[in-house]
Amino acid sequence: MRKKKVGLIVNPIAGMGGRVGLKGTDGLETLKKAIELGAKPWAEDRAKEALKQLVHLKNKIELITYPKQMGEYTAISCCFSPKVIGTLSGSMTAAEDTKRAAREMRDLGVDLPLFVGGDGTARDIYDAIDEDLVVLGIPAGVKIYSAVYAATPTRAGELAALYLEGKIREVIEAEVMDIDEEKFREGKLSGGLYGYLRIPFQRGYLPGAKSPTSVSERYNQEEIAAEVIENMSDEYYYIIGPGTTTKAIMKRLNLDYCLLGVDLVYKKKLVGKDLNEATLLEKIRKKAKIIVTSIGGQGYIFGRGNQQISPRVIKEVGKDNINIVATKRKIEALHGRPLLVDTGDEELDKQLSGYYRVTVGYGEEIIYKVIYP
């Protein structure tokens, strides 16, 4: 049997800001500040915890990594003899190194690149290899919003081992979130959906995805799409928000779409793709409905990743014409917590709070609470 190739990419500066209260280490200036404040790298420790879970597979896998603190040191300290590729651009590794490492690993046919970092690292991986490979994140960031990371480094290692040994095969598309660290440091949480990475799935190993599901995510999305389409009326324009669940509707209608953007549909035909607030308002000529899903693990239906559906658009459409769709896995992962709105217009948020019918399957709805934080 061919040895499975496992990649290891450590973002050595990930998480350093958190220890000194900086909420992230995006940007060199912040990093310098973090070091001045006495931040020590901890990504390597996190990587070790994960890698320890793979030691029993040492003879069955080939570990491929980048030089020095980007993986080589970790691998050696866990008694692996890694194949080290690439070169570092400088003493302080940058996003470019992460991206280059990911691309080189893809070209080498790595089966499962593991990356250690936070939201920024996930974005770099996504930029480099999109959904070409199955990957898995080992969490080392300050506050992680992306769903591509396992619950803990140990869980990451265990999940990777299960996947490499062929004990689990299910792969899901997990969200990479784009949180603006600048604003976050100012105490404002703003951000969006950046893209999706494919990760192995097993109940109990991912945060916010702890619950199992008896139907796979994809089939659940297809049945939701079938339900929505069956109830579409030619009287309405349909504003289709971002996310894989909502875009399953576009796929089923055989329409072109923008995964991370807002599309507009009328009489089951595409009116506009990737629209913003102004173009949405301009194109809608009569009654409209908004179809949204919750973005990210916190359960936001407005204000995260779909800001194009602005307070003006929502007011124009009206609360009664909001149709929330969500897979059962997404709802279960909330463990009973309500869905959230944060449109930036507090008065509107207040109005939007209450109970909604949420479409969770074909002929299946739940009554779920929406609140504003």
Partner 1 sequence: MTMETNREAEVRGFHEAKWDEPIIFELSRKGERGISIPEVEKEIEEYVGDGVSVLPENMIRKKPPALPEIAQPRVVRHYLRLSQETLGADINVDIGQGTCTMKYNPKINDVLACSPKVTELHPLQNESTVQGALEIMYKLDLFLREISGFSRFTFQPGGGSHAIFTVASIIRAHHELNGEGDKRDEIITTLLSHPSNAAAPAVKGYKMITIYPNEDGLPDIEALKTAVSERTAGLIVTNPEDTAIFNPRIAEFTKIVHEVGGLCAYDQANANGIIGIVRAVDCGFDLGFFNLHKTFSSPHGCGGPAVGAVGVTEKLVDFLPVPIVDFNGEKYYLNYNVPHTIGKVREFYGVFPVALRAYAWIRSLGAEGIKEVARVAVLNNNYVMKKILKEVKGASVSFPKTKHRIEQVRYSWEQLMKDTGVTTEDVIRRMADFGFHLWTSHHPWIVPQPFTIEPTESYSKDELDEYIAALKKVTEEAYKNPKKVKNAPYRSAIHKIDPSPLNDPEKWAITWRAYLKKRKNWDE
Interface residues with partner 1 (CB under 8 A)?
152, 154-155, 158, 167-170, 203-204, 210-216, 219, 328, 331-332, 335-336, 354-357, 360, 363-369
* Tokens (6 digits) for 241: 């928000």
- From the CB of 366, what's the least distance to partner 1, in Å? 4
Distance CA 358, CA 122 (A): 30
* Comparison of 152 and 276: residue with beta carbon closer to partner 1: 152
Given the structure tokens 């603190």, which residue do they identify? 69
> For residue 338, with 0-12 CB atoms within 10 Å meaning exposed, 13-18 middle and 19 or more buried, which class applies?
middle
Contact criterion met (CB below 8 Å) for 168 and 200: yes
Given the structure tokens 């709802």, which residue do they identify? 331
* Comparison of 1 and 90: residue with beta carbon closer to partner 1: 1
* Comparison of 97 and 217: residue with beta carbon closer to partner 1: 217
Contact criterion met (CB below 8 Å) for 324 and 369: no
* Comparison of 23 and 48: residue with beta carbon closer to partner 1: 48
The set of residues, in sequence order, having a beta carbon less than 8 Å from that of 66 and lying 6+ positions away, is 8, 9, 10, 72, 84, 85, 86, 88, 97, 101
* Comparison of 234 and 367: residue with beta carbon closer to partner 1: 367
- From the CB of 211, what's the least distance to partner 1, in Å? 4
Eight-class DSSP state of 149: B
* Comparison of 51 and 280: residue with beta carbon closer to partner 1: 51
Residue type present at position 286: K
- From the CB of 48, what's the least distance to partner 1, in Å? 16
- From the CB of 161, what's the least distance to partner 1, in Å? 11
* Comparison of 125 and 150: residue with beta carbon closer to partner 1: 150
Q: What is the DSSP string of 325-336?
A: E--HHHHHHTTT
Instruction: Name which of 321, 311, 319 is nearest 286 in CA terms.
Output: 321
Q: Which residues pair with 75 in a beta bridge?
A: none
Centroid of chain to Cα 7: 20
- From the CB of 166, what's the least distance to partner 1, in Å? 8
- From the CB of 214, what's the least distance to partner 1, in Å? 5
Helix/strand number for the chain, H first, E second: 14, 16
Contact criterion met (CB below 8 Å) for 281 and 312: yes
* Comparison of 186 and 219: residue with beta carbon closer to partner 1: 219
Distance CA 230, CA 241 (A): 18
Residue type present at position 181: E
* Tokens (6 digits) for 266: 């009328």
- From the CB of 88, what's the least distance to partner 1, in Å? 34
- From the CB of 209, what's the least distance to partner 1, in Å? 11
